[in-house]
């Protein structure tokens, strides 16, 4: 958007969270809360983006840089109020004449379309300032919009400064504003701390602007949850639920079956194909892709991974890996990062896989560890097979070629290669390569001591 600078306020203490983690880094629907406002202004193509940080600036700055390194972090050394936060930004904008969009990092459910509408309205009207407001059944805690008899906004009064009848006012300030830069900065120099919280309130500039004869406009949102502020752990959990619910609804509109949306935790940018069923207590993180007609869950956690069509992922965890088509994982399997699992593969109970490539038709059905390995097509891994990939210093590779049969309870000591179509005997500790079409057997011979029991009894 043209001629707009965005300023996200995030310097406050977040005292009401009762937590040592900065408020805006608390996870909301799987991502740090600050992500949502940062992404919103970036997606609106606002070129100049500022965030005001103060309390715990170093940790938050690091997170901000990861999400959007083009956002300028401005340091508000002392948190003297939302008005003071904008005063601190002023020197960065001395040559800017246009619209200043102010957002709070603790208002995470805001929609891009609402802000687009607000900026468009502001720039096409003669308002010095445009507020985003909503009427709430329970407006407690929010600043109230005070209008005159003709309905024009004359000021905002904060909760602590309300006079008797003003408590009844249901229209609240969302903390989201568009200002004409000149009108904002000239009004900011006039605010004081003469109020209940002894802070410089940004909301006080409204009355100053109005008294100068300028117009203060407003637009409203229909759904109050869109502008809810997150100040406490309860509000955080409520906002997460609202977002997860909205994400589930989006997926259902596109043909995904979700058995219980209130117990399903899908991040925002997740692609799921039609006909896929998501069972309860399943988490799917940002950026995951899942094909058509797959069954995911119950009790599964899919993190930054791709899963193909017609798969089944049951009570399992998949991290930063990719799974082909018609593959079954679980129950109780753990696929760790950098694994690539092909089509028609079966990974069963209590199998852990790390940084391993598994080709088509291979089965590892029971209690195994496969790490740093490459498995060919149609391999059978017997129950309890352990790949000993780590020698205490290095991680060593194992290659198991097409058609191999690994007997139960094998230890494969890497680096080792098991040649095509060969077998290893149950209970073997394989330390040397097995050539193709051979049997590798590495266990001591059984000896039966005849009559041993009778002797013992005598």
In this complex, which beta carbon is closest to ligand UD1, that of residue 82 or of residue 389? Answer: 82
> How many whole angstroms separate alpha carbon 341 and alpha carbon 323?
5
Residue 9 has, within 13 A of its CA and on its CB side, a CA count of 27
Nearest to 37 by CA among 141, 176, 130, 244: 176
Is 334 an active-site residue? no
Burial 22-34, CB ≥16 within 10 A → b, else e: bbbbbebbbbbbb
- Label residue 454 left, alpha or beta by phi (over 0 means left) and psi (-120 to 50 means alpha): alpha
Judged by beta carbon distances under 5 to 8 A according to partner kind, the member of ligand UD1, Ca ion, none in contact with residue 143 is: ligand UD1
Q: Which is nearer to ligand UD1, 12 or 342 (CB)?
A: 12
Residue 356 is a binding residue for ligand UD1 (CB under 6 A): no
CB of 179 to ligand UD1, least distance (A): 13
Smallest distance, Ca ion to C-beta of residue 229, A: 4
What does 82 interact with, of Ca ion, ligand UD1, none (CB < 5 to 8 A by kind)? ligand UD1
Residue with token string 């992922």 = 313
106 binds ligand UD1 (CB under 6 A): yes
| 371 contact, one of Ca ion, ligand UD1, none, CB 5-8 Å limit per kind | none
Q: CB of 37: closest distance to ligand UD1 in angstroms? A: 9
> What is the Cα–Cα distance from 382 to 401, expressed in whole angstroms?
15
In angstroms, what is the minimal distance from the CB of 98 to ligand UD1? Answer: 22
Q: Which of the listed partners (Ca ion, ligand UD1, none) does 348 bind, with a CB threshold of 5 to 8 Å by partner kind?
A: none
Q: Tell which residue, 431, 428, 432, has the closest CA to residue 405.
A: 428
Among 6, 31, 104, 218, binds ligand UD1 (CB under 6 A): 104
* Residues 94-133 within binding reach of Ca ion (CB under 5 A): 106
Residue 294 DSSP code: -
Give yes or no for residue 174 binding ligand UD1 (CB under 6 A): yes
Dihedral sign for Cα atoms in the order 191, 227, 18, 32 = negative
- What whole-number distance in Å separates Cα of residue 169 and Cα of residue 153? 13
Q: Tell whether residue 172 is a contact of ligand UD1 (CB under 6 A).
A: yes
Omega of the bond leading into 302 within 30 degrees of 0 (cis): no
Residues 144 and 152 sit within 8 Å (Cβ to Cβ): no
Whether the Cβ atoms of residue 275 and residue 255 lie closer than 8 Å to each other = yes
Q: What residue 368 binds from ligand UD1, Ca ion, none (CB within 5 to 8 A, per partner kind)? A: none
CB contact at 8 A, 31 and 267: yes
The C-alpha atoms of residue 410 and residue 167 are separated, in whole angstroms, by 74
- 179 prior amide bond cis, ω within 30: no
CA 193 to the chain's CA centroid: 38
Find out whether 119 and 112 touch, Cβ atoms under 8 Å: no
Is residue 381 within 8 A of residue 406, CB to CB? The reply is yes
Rounded least distance, CB 202 to ligand UD1, Å: 5
In this structure, the strands spanning 99-104 and 171-180 are antiparallel
**Which of the choices Ca ion, ligand UD1, none does residue 109 contact, using the CB cut-off of 5 to 8 A by kind?**
none
| Of positions 36, 142, 185, 265, contacts ligand UD1 by CB under 6 A | 142
Q: Which lies closer to Ca ion via its Cβ, residue 34 or residue 381?
A: 34
Of 174 and 315, the one with the shorter C-beta distance to ligand UD1 is: 174
The yes or no reply on residue 199 touching Ca ion (CB under 5 A) is no
Omega prior to 298 cis, within 30 of 0: yes
How far is C-alpha 75 from the chain's CA centre? 26
Residue tagged active-site, from 26, 84, 167, 366: 366
The answer to whether residue 76 forms part of the interface with ligand UD1 (CB under 6 A) is: yes
Q: Does the footprint of ligand UD1 cover residue 12 (CB under 6 A)?
A: yes
Tell whether residue 10 is a contact of ligand UD1 (CB under 6 A). yes
Number of residues that bind ligand UD1 (CB under 6 A): 30
Stretch that binds ligand UD1, among 77-85, 239-247, 365-373, 414-422 (CB under 6 A): 77-85
Stretch of residues binding Ca ion (CB under 5 A), selected from 2-10, 227-235, 250-258, 412-420: 227-235
* Chain residues 30-59 in contact with ligand UD1, contact rule CB under 6 A: 52, 54
Take residue 308 and report the two structure tokens written for it. Answer: 């193909």
11 binds, among ligand UD1, Ca ion, none (CB under 5 to 8 A by kind): ligand UD1
Q: Rule CB under 6 A: is residue 377 a binding residue for ligand UD1?
A: no
Helices of type H across 75-214: 82-89, 112-124, 181-188, 205-211
Residue 139 CB, nearest approach to ligand UD1 (Å): 9
Q: Choose, by CB under 5 A, the member of 229, 324, 342, 382 that binds Ca ion.
A: 229
Which positions are catalytic? Answer: 366
Give residues in contact with ligand UD1 (CB under 6 A). Answer: 9-12, 52, 54, 76, 79-82, 84-85, 104-107, 142-143, 156, 158, 172-175, 201-203, 229, 231
Give residues in contact with Ca ion (CB under 5 A). Answer: 106, 229, 231
């Amino acid at each position: 958007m043209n001629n707009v600078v965005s300023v996200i306020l995030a310097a406050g203490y977040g005292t009401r969270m009762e937590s040592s983690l900065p408020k805006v880094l608390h996870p909301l629907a799987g991502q740090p809360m600050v992500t949502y406002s940062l992404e919103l202004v970036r997606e609106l193509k606002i070129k100049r983006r500022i965030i005001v940080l103060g309390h715990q600036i170093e940790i938050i700055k690091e997170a901000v840089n990861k999400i959007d390194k083009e956002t300028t972090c401005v340091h508000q050394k002392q948190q003297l109020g939302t008005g003071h936060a904008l005063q601190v930004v002023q020197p960065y904008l001395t040559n800017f004449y246009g619209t200043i969009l102010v957002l709070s990092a603790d208002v995470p459910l805001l929609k891009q379309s609402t802000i687009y509408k607000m900026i468009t309205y502001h720039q096409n009207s003669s308002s010095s300032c445009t507020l985003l407001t909503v009427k709430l059944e329970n407006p407690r805690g929010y600043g109230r919009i005070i209008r005159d008899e003709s309905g024009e906004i004359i000021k905002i009064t904060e909760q602590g400064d309300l006079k008797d009848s003003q408590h009844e006012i249901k229209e609240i300030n969302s903390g989201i504003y568009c200002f004409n830069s000149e009108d904002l900065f000239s009004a900011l120099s006039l605010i004081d701390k003469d109020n209940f919280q002894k802070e410089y309130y940004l909301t006080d500039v409204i009355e100053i602007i109005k008294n100068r004869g300028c117009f203060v406009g407003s637009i409203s949102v229909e759904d109050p949850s869109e502008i809810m502020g997150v100040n406490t752990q309860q509000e955080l959990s409520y906002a997460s639920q609202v977002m997860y619910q909205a994400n589930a609804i989006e997926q259902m509109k596109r043909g995904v079956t979700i058995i219980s949306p209130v117990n399903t935790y899908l991040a925002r940018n997740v692609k799921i194909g039609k006909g896929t069923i998501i069972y309860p207590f399943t988490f799917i993180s940002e950026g995951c892709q899942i094909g058509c007609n797959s069954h995911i869950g119950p009790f599964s956690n899919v993190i930054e991974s791709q899963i193909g069509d017609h798969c089944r992922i049951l009570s399992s965890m998949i991290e930063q890996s990719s799974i082909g088509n018609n593959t079954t994982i679980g129950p109780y399997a753990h696929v760790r990062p950098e694994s690539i699992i092909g089509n028609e593969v079966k990974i069963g109970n209590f199998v852990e896989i790390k940084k391993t490539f598994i080709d088509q038709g291979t089965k590892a059905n029971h209690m195994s560890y496969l790490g740093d390995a490459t498995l060919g097509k149609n391999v059978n891994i017997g129950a309890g097979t352990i790949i000993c990939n780590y020698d205490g210093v290095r991680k060593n590779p194992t290659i198991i070629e097409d058609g191999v049969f690994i007997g139960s309870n094998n230890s494969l000591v890497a680096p080792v290669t098991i040649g095509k179509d060969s077998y290893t005997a149950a209970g073997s500790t394989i330390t040397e390569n097995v050539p193709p079409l051979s049997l590798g057997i590495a266990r001591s011979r059984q000896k039966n001591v005849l009559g041993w029991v009778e002797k013992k009894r005598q």
